[in-house]
Amino acid sequence: MKITKTLFGKTNEGYTVDLYTLSNDNQVTVKITNYGAIITAIETPDKNGELANIACGFEKLETYLSPEYLGIYPYFGCICGRVCNRIAEGKFTLEGKNYSLAVNNGPNHLHGGIVGYDRRLWTSEILKENDIIGVKLSYLSPDMEEGYPGNLRVTCTYTLNNNNELAMEYGAETDQTTIVNLTNHTYFNLTGGSETVLNHELELPAKLVTEAVGNIPTGNIVSVEGTPFNFLDKKKLGKDIEALPDGYDLNFVLENTEGHLVFAGSLSEETSGRMVEVHTTQPGIHLYTGYWIPELTIDGLKKFGRYSGVALETQHFPDSINNPHFPPVTLAPGQHFYEKTIYTFGTK
Protein backbone atom coordinates (compact mmCIF):
# COMPACT_ATOMS: atom_id res chain seq x y z
CA MET A 1 0.00 0.00 0.00
CA LYS A 2 1.13 3.53 -0.73
CA ILE A 3 0.15 7.11 0.11
CA THR A 4 1.50 10.23 -1.56
CA LYS A 5 0.95 13.96 -1.07
CA THR A 6 0.99 16.43 -3.97
CA LEU A 7 -0.02 20.04 -4.58
CA PHE A 8 -3.66 20.32 -5.68
CA GLY A 9 -3.73 24.09 -6.16
CA LYS A 10 -4.37 27.31 -4.28
CA THR A 11 -7.59 28.84 -2.99
CA ASN A 12 -8.79 32.23 -4.16
CA GLU A 13 -7.22 33.62 -0.96
CA GLY A 14 -3.85 32.09 -1.88
CA TYR A 15 -3.80 29.18 0.57
CA THR A 16 -2.07 26.00 -0.58
CA VAL A 17 -4.28 22.91 -0.96
CA ASP A 18 -2.94 19.34 -0.91
CA LEU A 19 -4.07 16.13 -2.57
CA TYR A 20 -3.52 12.74 -0.92
CA THR A 21 -3.49 9.61 -3.08
CA LEU A 22 -4.14 6.30 -1.28
CA SER A 23 -3.44 3.11 -3.23
CA ASN A 24 -3.77 -0.48 -2.04
CA ASP A 25 -2.37 -3.71 -3.51
CA ASN A 26 -5.58 -4.44 -5.46
CA GLN A 27 -5.47 -1.39 -7.77
CA VAL A 28 -7.97 0.57 -5.67
CA THR A 29 -6.98 4.23 -5.47
CA VAL A 30 -8.68 6.99 -3.48
CA LYS A 31 -7.80 10.66 -3.87
CA ILE A 32 -8.61 13.11 -1.07
CA THR A 33 -7.99 16.84 -0.71
CA ASN A 34 -7.90 18.86 2.49
CA TYR A 35 -10.15 21.46 0.82
CA GLY A 36 -13.62 20.46 2.03
CA ALA A 37 -12.26 17.02 3.00
CA ILE A 38 -13.32 16.09 -0.54
CA ILE A 39 -12.90 12.67 -2.11
CA THR A 40 -12.01 13.70 -5.65
CA ALA A 41 -11.70 10.22 -7.18
CA ILE A 42 -12.08 6.51 -6.44
CA GLU A 43 -10.47 4.26 -9.03
CA THR A 44 -11.41 0.58 -9.03
CA PRO A 45 -11.08 -2.30 -11.52
CA ASP A 46 -14.10 -3.72 -13.29
CA LYS A 47 -14.72 -7.46 -13.82
CA ASN A 48 -12.15 -7.42 -16.64
CA GLY A 49 -9.54 -5.56 -14.61
CA GLU A 50 -10.08 -2.25 -16.42
CA LEU A 51 -9.65 0.75 -14.13
CA ALA A 52 -12.02 3.73 -13.98
CA ASN A 53 -12.94 6.53 -11.58
CA ILE A 54 -16.31 5.64 -10.05
CA ALA A 55 -16.76 8.89 -8.06
CA CYS A 56 -17.96 12.25 -9.41
CA GLY A 57 -15.14 14.74 -8.99
CA PHE A 58 -12.52 16.93 -10.63
CA GLU A 59 -8.81 16.73 -11.33
CA LYS A 60 -8.18 20.41 -10.52
CA LEU A 61 -8.98 22.54 -7.49
CA GLU A 62 -9.94 25.43 -9.76
CA THR A 63 -12.95 23.46 -11.03
CA TYR A 64 -14.27 23.09 -7.45
CA LEU A 65 -13.91 26.87 -7.08
CA SER A 66 -15.46 27.78 -10.44
CA PRO A 67 -18.69 29.83 -10.57
CA GLU A 68 -20.08 27.33 -13.09
CA TYR A 69 -19.82 24.50 -10.55
CA LEU A 70 -20.85 26.52 -7.50
CA GLY A 71 -23.83 28.00 -9.33
CA ILE A 72 -25.71 24.68 -9.16
CA TYR A 73 -23.71 23.15 -6.38
CA PRO A 74 -23.99 19.34 -6.01
CA TYR A 75 -21.44 18.96 -3.16
CA PHE A 76 -19.24 16.40 -4.97
CA GLY A 77 -17.37 14.18 -2.52
CA CYS A 78 -17.20 16.59 0.41
CA ILE A 79 -17.89 16.48 4.13
CA CYS A 80 -21.15 18.32 4.88
CA GLY A 81 -21.55 20.04 8.25
CA ARG A 82 -21.90 21.34 10.90
CA VAL A 83 -25.29 19.79 10.20
CA CYS A 84 -25.75 17.98 6.90
CA ASN A 85 -29.04 17.72 5.04
CA ARG A 86 -31.88 20.17 5.77
CA ILE A 87 -33.13 22.16 8.73
CA ALA A 88 -36.65 23.52 8.18
CA GLU A 89 -36.59 27.28 7.59
CA GLY A 90 -33.09 27.34 9.07
CA LYS A 91 -34.52 27.58 12.60
CA PHE A 92 -34.12 25.56 15.78
CA THR A 93 -34.27 25.99 19.54
CA LEU A 94 -31.55 24.70 21.83
CA GLU A 95 -31.57 24.98 25.63
CA GLY A 96 -34.32 27.57 25.39
CA LYS A 97 -32.51 29.80 22.91
CA ASN A 98 -33.68 30.35 19.33
CA TYR A 99 -31.17 30.13 16.48
CA SER A 100 -31.52 31.24 12.86
CA LEU A 101 -29.26 29.83 10.15
CA ALA A 102 -28.77 30.74 6.50
CA VAL A 103 -31.58 29.74 4.18
CA ASN A 104 -29.68 28.39 1.17
CA ASN A 105 -31.99 25.72 -0.30
CA GLY A 106 -35.41 27.12 -1.08
CA PRO A 107 -36.91 28.06 2.29
CA ASN A 108 -34.52 25.77 4.21
CA HIS A 109 -30.97 25.44 5.51
CA LEU A 110 -28.82 22.83 3.72
CA HIS A 111 -25.49 21.12 4.47
CA GLY A 112 -24.15 23.64 6.97
CA GLY A 113 -24.94 26.93 5.26
CA ILE A 114 -23.38 29.37 2.82
CA VAL A 115 -19.82 28.22 3.58
CA GLY A 116 -20.01 24.85 5.28
CA TYR A 117 -17.26 22.36 6.02
CA ASP A 118 -17.31 21.46 2.31
CA ARG A 119 -15.56 24.77 1.49
CA ARG A 120 -13.17 25.04 4.44
CA LEU A 121 -9.47 24.23 4.49
CA TRP A 122 -8.75 21.35 6.90
CA THR A 123 -5.40 20.56 8.52
CA SER A 124 -4.07 17.12 7.66
CA GLU A 125 -1.95 14.28 9.01
CA ILE A 126 -0.82 11.19 7.08
CA LEU A 127 -1.52 7.83 8.72
CA LYS A 128 0.51 4.69 8.02
CA GLU A 129 0.02 1.43 9.90
CA ASN A 130 0.67 -2.21 9.05
CA ASP A 131 -2.73 -2.79 7.50
CA ILE A 132 -4.04 0.69 6.63
CA ILE A 133 -3.03 3.96 5.03
CA GLY A 134 -4.96 7.17 5.39
CA VAL A 135 -5.24 10.82 6.24
CA LYS A 136 -6.71 12.47 9.32
CA LEU A 137 -8.32 15.83 8.59
CA SER A 138 -9.14 18.34 11.35
CA TYR A 139 -11.07 21.59 11.50
CA LEU A 140 -11.92 24.03 14.28
CA SER A 141 -15.36 25.48 13.63
CA PRO A 142 -15.64 28.69 15.70
CA ASP A 143 -18.60 29.66 17.85
CA MET A 144 -21.46 31.04 15.72
CA GLU A 145 -19.86 30.08 12.42
CA GLU A 146 -22.84 29.92 10.03
CA GLY A 147 -25.01 30.58 13.09
CA TYR A 148 -24.14 27.42 15.08
CA PRO A 149 -23.28 27.79 18.78
CA GLY A 150 -20.03 26.53 20.31
CA ASN A 151 -16.45 26.05 19.23
CA LEU A 152 -16.50 22.62 17.61
CA ARG A 153 -13.35 20.57 16.94
CA VAL A 154 -14.08 18.19 14.07
CA THR A 155 -12.04 15.32 12.66
CA CYS A 156 -12.58 13.15 9.62
CA THR A 157 -10.26 10.19 9.16
CA TYR A 158 -10.16 8.39 5.82
CA THR A 159 -8.39 5.01 5.67
CA LEU A 160 -7.93 2.35 2.99
CA ASN A 161 -6.89 -1.28 3.45
CA ASN A 162 -6.23 -4.32 1.27
CA ASN A 163 -9.78 -5.57 1.81
CA ASN A 164 -10.81 -2.66 -0.46
CA GLU A 165 -12.50 -0.95 2.49
CA LEU A 166 -12.61 2.83 2.49
CA ALA A 167 -13.44 3.80 6.08
CA MET A 168 -14.62 7.22 7.22
CA GLU A 169 -14.53 8.03 10.93
CA TYR A 170 -15.98 11.29 12.20
CA GLY A 171 -15.24 12.82 15.59
CA ALA A 172 -16.27 16.08 17.26
CA GLU A 173 -16.08 17.85 20.64
CA THR A 174 -17.60 21.16 21.70
CA ASP A 175 -17.25 23.75 24.47
CA GLN A 176 -20.95 24.66 24.32
CA THR A 177 -24.08 22.62 23.61
CA THR A 178 -24.57 22.51 19.85
CA ILE A 179 -25.90 20.28 17.08
CA VAL A 180 -23.83 18.03 14.81
CA ASN A 181 -24.67 15.74 11.88
CA LEU A 182 -21.84 14.83 9.50
CA THR A 183 -21.84 12.92 6.23
CA ASN A 184 -19.72 12.38 3.16
CA HIS A 185 -21.40 13.36 -0.13
CA THR A 186 -19.62 11.16 -2.67
CA TYR A 187 -21.61 10.34 -5.79
CA PHE A 188 -20.96 6.92 -7.30
CA ASN A 189 -21.15 5.93 -10.94
CA LEU A 190 -19.91 2.37 -11.36
CA THR A 191 -19.63 2.71 -15.16
CA GLY A 192 -16.93 5.33 -14.68
CA GLY A 193 -19.29 7.97 -16.02
CA SER A 194 -19.94 6.35 -19.40
CA GLU A 195 -23.67 6.01 -18.58
CA THR A 196 -26.16 7.41 -16.07
CA VAL A 197 -26.87 5.52 -12.86
CA LEU A 198 -30.42 4.50 -13.83
CA ASN A 199 -29.32 0.93 -14.63
CA HIS A 200 -27.44 0.60 -11.34
CA GLU A 201 -29.05 -1.90 -8.99
CA LEU A 202 -29.57 -0.94 -5.36
CA GLU A 203 -30.42 -2.94 -2.27
CA LEU A 204 -31.32 -1.19 0.98
CA PRO A 205 -32.32 -3.10 4.13
CA ALA A 206 -34.53 -0.22 5.29
CA LYS A 207 -38.20 -1.06 5.78
CA LEU A 208 -39.02 2.54 6.74
CA VAL A 209 -38.41 6.09 5.51
CA THR A 210 -38.88 9.52 7.03
CA GLU A 211 -41.91 10.87 5.17
CA ALA A 212 -41.15 14.28 3.68
CA VAL A 213 -42.91 17.18 1.99
CA GLY A 214 -40.66 19.55 0.08
CA ASN A 215 -37.65 17.55 1.34
CA ILE A 216 -38.53 18.32 4.98
CA PRO A 217 -39.68 15.45 7.20
CA THR A 218 -43.29 15.60 8.36
CA GLY A 219 -42.27 13.73 11.50
CA ASN A 220 -43.95 10.53 10.33
CA ILE A 221 -41.91 7.38 9.81
CA VAL A 222 -43.64 5.23 7.21
CA SER A 223 -43.27 1.85 5.51
CA VAL A 224 -41.65 1.47 2.09
CA GLU A 225 -44.09 -1.30 1.22
CA GLY A 226 -45.98 -0.57 -1.98
CA THR A 227 -43.93 2.57 -2.73
CA PRO A 228 -41.08 3.42 -5.15
CA PHE A 229 -38.83 3.51 -2.04
CA ASN A 230 -38.85 -0.25 -1.57
CA PHE A 231 -35.31 -1.52 -2.17
CA LEU A 232 -35.55 -4.50 0.19
CA ASP A 233 -35.06 -6.63 -2.91
CA LYS A 234 -32.39 -5.36 -5.28
CA LYS A 235 -33.80 -3.31 -8.16
CA LYS A 236 -32.62 -0.80 -10.75
CA LEU A 237 -32.67 2.85 -9.74
CA GLY A 238 -34.58 3.67 -12.92
CA LYS A 239 -37.35 1.12 -12.38
CA ASP A 240 -39.74 3.37 -10.43
CA ILE A 241 -37.98 6.73 -10.71
CA GLU A 242 -40.52 8.24 -13.12
CA ALA A 243 -43.05 8.28 -10.28
CA LEU A 244 -40.84 10.85 -8.53
CA PRO A 245 -40.62 14.37 -10.03
CA ASP A 246 -36.99 14.92 -8.97
CA GLY A 247 -35.83 11.34 -8.61
CA TYR A 248 -34.83 9.86 -5.26
CA ASP A 249 -33.99 12.30 -2.45
CA LEU A 250 -35.10 10.75 0.83
CA ASN A 251 -33.79 9.43 4.13
CA PHE A 252 -34.11 5.69 4.80
CA VAL A 253 -34.37 4.46 8.40
CA LEU A 254 -31.84 1.78 9.32
CA GLU A 255 -33.36 1.08 12.76
CA ASN A 256 -29.81 1.14 14.15
CA THR A 257 -30.65 2.58 17.57
CA GLU A 258 -27.56 1.20 19.31
CA GLY A 259 -25.04 2.64 16.86
CA HIS A 260 -23.58 -0.70 15.79
CA LEU A 261 -21.73 -1.07 12.50
CA VAL A 262 -24.51 -2.51 10.32
CA PHE A 263 -25.15 -3.28 6.66
CA ALA A 264 -26.74 -0.21 5.07
CA GLY A 265 -26.88 -1.01 1.37
CA SER A 266 -25.32 -2.42 -1.77
CA LEU A 267 -24.94 -0.78 -5.18
CA SER A 268 -23.97 -2.75 -8.29
CA GLU A 269 -23.83 -2.39 -12.06
CA GLU A 270 -24.02 -5.38 -14.40
CA THR A 271 -21.96 -4.25 -17.39
CA SER A 272 -18.85 -3.37 -15.37
CA GLY A 273 -19.50 -5.95 -12.67
CA ARG A 274 -18.54 -3.36 -10.06
CA MET A 275 -20.23 -3.13 -6.71
CA VAL A 276 -19.94 -1.18 -3.47
CA GLU A 277 -21.29 -2.22 -0.08
CA VAL A 278 -22.04 0.22 2.72
CA HIS A 279 -21.78 -0.40 6.47
CA THR A 280 -22.35 2.32 9.05
CA THR A 281 -22.94 3.17 12.70
CA GLN A 282 -25.37 5.91 11.64
CA PRO A 283 -29.18 5.57 12.00
CA GLY A 284 -30.05 6.62 8.44
CA ILE A 285 -28.91 6.57 4.83
CA HIS A 286 -30.06 9.29 2.44
CA LEU A 287 -30.50 8.22 -1.18
CA TYR A 288 -30.02 10.99 -3.75
CA THR A 289 -29.91 10.16 -7.46
CA GLY A 290 -28.51 13.50 -8.60
CA TYR A 291 -31.44 15.06 -10.41
CA TRP A 292 -29.90 18.52 -9.98
CA ILE A 293 -26.30 17.65 -10.93
CA PRO A 294 -25.32 20.25 -13.55
CA GLU A 295 -23.83 19.45 -16.92
CA LEU A 296 -20.40 21.08 -16.94
CA THR A 297 -17.88 21.83 -19.67
CA ILE A 298 -14.43 20.84 -18.38
CA ASP A 299 -11.39 21.25 -20.65
CA GLY A 300 -13.75 21.48 -23.61
CA LEU A 301 -15.66 18.31 -22.77
CA LYS A 302 -19.22 18.08 -21.47
CA LYS A 303 -19.43 16.01 -18.30
CA PHE A 304 -21.95 15.01 -15.63
CA GLY A 305 -25.58 16.17 -15.73
CA ARG A 306 -28.81 14.68 -14.41
CA TYR A 307 -28.51 11.17 -12.88
CA SER A 308 -24.76 11.04 -13.52
CA GLY A 309 -24.13 9.89 -9.96
CA VAL A 310 -25.91 8.47 -6.93
CA ALA A 311 -25.12 9.49 -3.35
CA LEU A 312 -25.56 7.07 -0.45
CA GLU A 313 -25.19 9.48 2.47
CA THR A 314 -25.05 7.83 5.89
CA GLN A 315 -26.24 10.29 8.53
CA HIS A 316 -28.77 11.17 11.21
CA PHE A 317 -32.20 12.11 9.93
CA PRO A 318 -32.90 15.47 8.24
CA ASP A 319 -34.28 18.20 10.53
CA SER A 320 -33.71 15.99 13.58
CA ILE A 321 -33.36 18.98 15.91
CA ASN A 322 -36.99 19.88 15.18
CA ASN A 323 -38.27 16.31 15.60
CA PRO A 324 -37.57 15.18 19.18
CA HIS A 325 -38.48 11.54 18.42
CA PHE A 326 -35.72 11.32 15.75
CA PRO A 327 -32.21 10.15 16.76
CA PRO A 328 -30.64 13.14 18.57
CA VAL A 329 -28.06 15.45 17.01
CA THR A 330 -27.20 17.50 20.11
CA LEU A 331 -23.67 17.47 21.51
CA ALA A 332 -22.77 18.86 24.93
CA PRO A 333 -19.40 19.73 26.48
CA GLY A 334 -17.69 16.58 27.72
CA GLN A 335 -19.44 14.38 25.15
CA HIS A 336 -17.65 12.93 22.12
CA PHE A 337 -19.36 12.62 18.75
CA TYR A 338 -18.26 9.53 16.82
CA GLU A 339 -19.62 7.82 13.70
CA LYS A 340 -18.09 5.41 11.21
CA THR A 341 -18.99 4.38 7.66
CA ILE A 342 -17.22 1.83 5.44
CA TYR A 343 -17.56 1.60 1.67
CA THR A 344 -16.25 -1.74 0.36
CA PHE A 345 -15.42 -2.02 -3.36
CA GLY A 346 -15.44 -5.18 -5.42
CA THR A 347 -16.84 -6.98 -8.44
CA LYS A 348 -19.62 -9.53 -8.84
Using the 8-state DSSP alphabet, how is residue 139 labeled? E
Backbone phi and psi for residue 206, each to the nearest 5 degrees, phi listed first: -75, 125
Dihedral, 155, 328, 279, 54 alpha carbons, nearest 10: -60
For residues 153 and 171, what is the distance between their CA atoms, to the nearest angstrom? Answer: 8
Measured CA angle at 25 (ends 20, 30), to 5 deg: 30
- Report yes or no: 123 and 133 within 8 Å, Cβ to Cβ: no
| Identity of residue 243 | A
CA–chain centroid gap for 160, Å, is: 17
The type of residue at 107 is: P
Q: Which of 286, 313, 316, 339 is catalytic?
A: 313
Beta strands in 69-114 (DSSP E): 79-80, 86-87, 91-94, 97-100, 109-110
185 is catalytic: yes
- Residue 313 annotated among the catalytic residues of the structure: yes
d(CA 188, CA 267): 9
What sign does the dihedral 26-32-37-39 (CA atoms) show?
A: negative
Helical H segments across the chain, by residue range:
61-65, 67-71
Q: Which of 185, 279, 286, 316 is catalytic?
A: 185
Point out the residues that are catalytic. 185, 313
